[in-house]
Amino acid sequence: MYGLKDKRILITGASSGIGAGMARVLAEQGCRLVLHYNQNQSGIEKTLADVKKLNEDVDILRCDFRELDSLDAFFQQAWKIFDGLDGLVNNAGIVTKTVALKDPQGEKFSETLAVNLHAPYQLSTAFAQACIDNGQGGAIVNNSSIHGQATCEWFSAYAASKAALDAITKVQAVEWGQYGIRVNVLAPGVVPVERTDRILNQPEMEKKWCNAMPAGRYGTTDEMGHATAFLLSDAAQWMTGSILTMDGGLIARGNYPQR
């Protein structure tokens, strides 16, 4: 459907949630996948088993993105698995919820920026350099969030990381367009994942959120996978430096439920 057969794609944070959904959808499209995880060994094994039912060309790699010194070696390993990569999906992230007054020294703030912003910056730069050195183009998808555009209480670290990710996406798109490298953002709204299922499926919570969304329901990890497939594909060839918001209309209505 997206013309992605045999494309070699690195997806970070594929051990659960949206990253696992992206892996399943991209495997269905015939992509060869390098799947990254950090701590969730059983999660990545489940994603791997799901993907293998669709496509045997898949491998996994572990890295803690708080250890920024390890990122270059991690990327080089990922690049070598299929002798190159055609796409990079920067999906791994920490959804930090904290009020600023409880993080006065900014420890959570710094950790959030390391994983959600510095790691994608460094991985994208390594990917672009490798593409340039090999005389090939490439596509990068940065999984940001609607919090990059409109936010609320508890999210100063998270929103700062995602707004900055949106910003560097535009700068990198401008810098790398000349090399045939496209960089875009996927900005999801509320998508239940293992981490949030229990809370979001409580009837009162579901009613509150779904009433705030013109589409009247949560998003799914499969929908995020299809949006990613589109952004990686030639159907989006003229799209770079853009933000694809997928939120059921939540921020268009501009009405976050009160926390």
Catalytic residues: 158
Q: Write down the residue that tokens 């990569």 correspond to.
A: 85
* Helices (H), ranges, 10-138: 17-28, 41-52, 71-81, 107-113, 119-133
Nearest to residue 60, comparing CAs of 90, 18, 6, 23? 23
Interface with ligand NAP (CB under 6 A), residue from 33, 71, 89, 94: 94
3-state secondary structure of 59: strand
Interface with ligand NAP (CB under 6 A), residue from 92, 128, 246, 251: 92
Minimum gap (Å) between residue 79 Cβ and ligand NAP: 18
**Contact call for residue 37 and ligand NAP (CB under 6 A):** yes
The span of 22-30, 34-42, 128-136, 231-239 binding ligand NAP (CB under 6 A) equals 34-42
**Contact call for residue 96 and ligand NAP (CB under 6 A):** no
- Cα distances (angstroms) measured from residue 196 to each of 14, 16, 42, 201: 16, 11, 18, 8
Interface with ligand NAP (CB under 6 A), residue from 18, 139, 229, 231: 18
DSSP code per residue over 127-170: HHHHHHHTT--EEEEEE--GGGTS--TTBHHHHHHHHHHHHHHH
Nearest to residue 142, comparing CAs of 180, 170, 114? 170
Contact 47, 92 (CB under 8 A): no
Taking the least distance from each CB to ligand NAP, the nearer of 122 and 145 is 145
**Contact call for residue 195 and ligand NAP (CB under 6 A):** yes
Minimum gap (Å) between residue 47 Cβ and ligand NAP: 9
**Contact call for residue 16 and ligand NAP (CB under 6 A):** yes
Q: Enumerate residues 115-134 that contact ligand NAP by CB under 6 A.
A: 115
Q: Which residues bind ligand NAP (CB under 6 A)?
A: 13, 15-19, 37-40, 43, 64-66, 91-95, 115, 143, 145, 188, 190-191, 193-195
